[in-house]
Structure 1
Amino acid sequence: MLLPERERYIAGYVDHLPDGAAMDIKSLAKSIPLYGQMAVGSALRALGVAGHLRHAQCRVEDRGQVRWVTRTFWSRTARDNEWWGAFMDAENNRAAQEATAPRTPLRVPTQAPAPQVGSEPQAPAPVTPAEPAAQPTTPGPVPVVPQQRTPEPAPAQPSPAFLALAQLGRIEPRLPLSAADCTALESLAAQWFTRGVDTDYLTHALTSGLPAQVGSPIGFVRRRLTDKIPPHLPTTPTPTMPRTPTRRLMAECTECGTPGHPEALPDGLCRRCRTPDPGTTSKQAMGADTEEDVHGLVAELRGMLKRP
């Protein structure tokens, strides 16, 4: 199919755009000085009818928020409606597979332990016996090898529960806990970590809504550790009813942007844009006739003024 000159020019420009470039009418009109926004919009509509492009609304999830953005798909070869419908379905299937695919956690290589210095004493070098002297000498004292000290065991690392309790006094001055207090409350705080919470959750639960003065910090923390402990969560996921997968890609009309299935948008146009309202056509025709009548009346009045 041979395209008009304007459509061929805009199609050549679009074909050389990189992936992810702006394809809206304003951006294209700003980059193509030969044609304005109306001309670019009409050209994109013609290219969509010819089978070179389709507009689609894409579902994007970012930081827990869902928004819809318009994407334009371009094909140098003209495609029919069945091909574009199969392309949209393939894109939706691929997005659904990526969303449901299990993510494999990255394995962090464990660092090999550093080689330790041997604690065994080195054997003394062999001593070559000296030649006997002419006169007998008195033997000197025998050197004694000092006994090697065994390395002291490294102190045990404190548990996450102990560390969370120890830092309460630095975060909230009304809850200063001594080392003995942290040891006494360590078992209660450890039960929180077995239920899937982290240090921030525990600290927020213990420091939020404090009274103006806390008489006994250890008693206050013990009471909160007992009363506000979170519930156990099931380890196995509860069975849920299968739901229909969400379509992440939905075709939209090239003219007005109305979303819909590809089957409902042949040639990339909705029914309203494909078959314009006959009333609108008649009104436009009446407006053209009225405009011609006005011009004719004005010409007649000017002729009358020129007469003697």
Structure 2
Amino acid sequence: MATANFSPALRAPASSRPYTKANRGYGKRSSPNQRPAHADDFMLLPERERYIAGYVDHLPDGAAMDIKSLAKSIPLYGQMAVGSALRALGVAGHLRYAQCRVEERGQVRWVTRTFWSRTARDNEWWDAFLEAENNRASQEAAATTVPQLPPQVPTEAPAPQTDAESPAPVTPAEPATQPTSPAPVPVVPQQRTPDPTPGHPTPAYLALAQLGRIEPRLPLSATDCTALEPLAAQWFARGVDADYLTHALTSGLPAQVGSPIGLVRRRLHDKIPPHLPTTPTPATPGSPVRRLMMECTGCGTPGPSEALPDGLCRTCRKPDPDAASEQATGANAERNVHSLVAELRGMLKHP
């Protein structure tokens, strides 16, 4: 007895191979307040979109959701079919792309975030969700920009001794008429910051000490590293790391270096990077810096959410007239061919 399948949505086959993981911080991001998974999810979508939506919905957060990764994991459809399906899922309210502003080591770049929702959402819900994500990203960036210094515990000054607490004076054995010399005042040595020892070198000292192993033409002795350490420390104070310093000192060297310490000292003076402010530049009043901006699902054009209804820009929403005419012409030609074949078959039936 055959058993009927009441599930209208096509499910992706279970695969034992691991899914493709995206880089840390990228990949699939599930939206909040979704309904539990059910058999009738995505049943209103076409067959191809149902299949791809079911596969994407079973992926964990952090899995790669780009077109190439999905086409590689789903052998039934190629990259063009997957791209068209993702665009349709965006129009249906299950998918949104957004560009996020990321600041690392004084550099600003934009990366693409992918948000997925099993429950179909309208444009108003996505606008409110992206606005909340934008506020959260701005708060996180402000928290990481301003360093939190540890609270300083004030040290209490020693209380002066009172007459009751001070010891009783001892009567000298000599007569009072004999003059006594004043007691010498003890000299308290001034505390100073200890110089870095070879057991605890600074990052600047380490970068200079390893310079000769990376570039044999720049061997520096321990005395040379100690003399050049203050200059290299200025580079680290301006936000660069050891790799940046080493590349700046070793690039474009002559064939022979007569005085390694002289060349390194000259480059530390001449190639010192500019001083970048540690606090972000204040924005113009009334125009806050947006750290999250929606991206068109079709062409990837960034813009505000109100300018991208259904996740599509104006160009992608309007159909191409040439493509529409070509599709209509092809459909008419296909109908003409079918009618011609039907007529030929009818003629062959007559004696």
Alignment TM-score, normalising by the size of structure 1? 0.52
Quote the Cα distance in structure 1 between the aligned partners of 2:133 and 2:294: 11
- Equivalent in the alignment of 1:43: 85
| 2:148 aligned counterpart, secondary structure | coil
Equivalent position amino acid for 1:103 in 2: P
In structure 2, runs of 5+ residues without a counterpart are: 1-40, 152-193, 213-219, 237-241, 271-276
* Cα pair 2:92 2:310 within 8 Å, conserved: yes
- Equivalent in the alignment of 1:114: none
Equivalent position amino acid for 2:148 in 1: T
CA distance 1:292–1:79, change in 2 (3 Å): closer
Quote the Cα distance in structure 2 between the aligned partners of 1:10 and 1:238: 45
Equivalences for 1:54-203 in 2 at 5 Å?
54-101=96-143, 102-104=146-148
CA distance 1:23–1:283, change in 2 (3 Å): same
Equivalent position amino acid for 1:268 in 2: G
Tell me by how many angstroms 1:29 deviates: 2.5
Tell me whether 1:8 sits opposite 2:50 in the alignment. Answer: yes
- Equivalent in the alignment of 1:262: 305
Aligned with 1:31 (options 44, 59, 73): 73
- Equivalent in the alignment of 1:249: 292
Aligned with 2:326 (options 283, 296, 300): 283
Tell me by how many angstroms 1:61 deviates: 3.9
Quote the Cα distance in structure 1 between the aligned partners of 2:138 and 2:83: 32
* Cα pair 2:296 2:308 within 8 Å, conserved: yes
Task: Select the structure of larger CA radius of gyration.
Answer: 1
How many correspondences in the alignment? 242
Task: Give per-residue Cα distances to partners, 1:48-96, cap 9 Å, x unaligned.
Answer: 2221211122333445554433221011222211111122122222222
Quote the Cα distance in structure 1 between the aligned partners of 2:289 and 2:71: 34
Coordinate RMSD, CA, aligned: 5.6
Quote the Cα distance in structure 1 between the aligned partners of 2:279 and 2:133: 28
Equivalent position amino acid for 2:283 in 1: R
Equivalent position amino acid for 1:249 in 2: L
Quote the Cα distance in structure 2 between the aligned partners of 1:38 and 1:238: 45
Quote the Cα distance in structure 2 between the aligned partners of 1:83 and 1:41: 24
CA distance 1:56–1:35, change in 2 (3 Å): same
In structure 1, runs of 5+ residues without a counterpart are: 108-155, 171-175, 215-220, 231-236
- Equivalent in the alignment of 1:271: 314
- Equivalent in the alignment of 2:187: none
Q: Quick check: 61-70 or 294-303, which moved more?
A: 294-303
Q: Quick check: 28-37 or 76-85, which moved more?
A: 28-37
Quote the Cα distance in structure 2 between the aligned partners of 1:238 and 1:38: 45
CA distance 1:26–1:157, change in 2 (3 Å): closer
CA distance 1:11–1:197, change in 2 (3 Å): closer
| Bigger RCO of structures 1 and 2 (CA < 8 A, at least 6 apart) | 1
Task: Give per-residue Cα distances to partners, 1:140-196, cap 9 Å, x unaligned.
Answer: xxxxxxxxxxxxxxxx86899xx9xxx9xx9xxxxx99xxxx9xxx9xx8xx78x96
Equivalent position amino acid for 1:262 in 2: S
Quote the Cα distance in structure 2 between the aligned partners of 1:87 and 1:238: 31
Quote the Cα distance in structure 2 between the aligned partners of 1:84 and 1:32: 28
Equivalent position amino acid for 1:59 in 2: R
* Cα pair 2:102 2:108 within 8 Å, conserved: yes
CA distance 1:241–1:29, change in 2 (3 Å): closer
CA distance 1:278–1:239, change in 2 (3 Å): closer
Quote the Cα distance in structure 2 between the aligned partners of 1:18 and 1:239: 36
Quote the Cα distance in structure 2 between the aligned partners of 1:15 and 1:303: 51
CA distance 1:267–1:243, change in 2 (3 Å): same
| 2:51 aligned counterpart, secondary structure | helix
CA distance 1:257–1:240, change in 2 (3 Å): closer
Structure 1 or 2: more helix by fraction: 1
| 1:60 aligned counterpart, secondary structure | strand
Tell me by how many angstroms 1:240 deviates: 9.5
Alignment TM-score, normalising by the size of structure 2? 0.47
| 2:325 aligned counterpart, secondary structure | helix
Quote the Cα distance in structure 1 between the aligned partners of 2:196 and 2:317: 73
CA distance 1:2–1:94, change in 2 (3 Å): closer
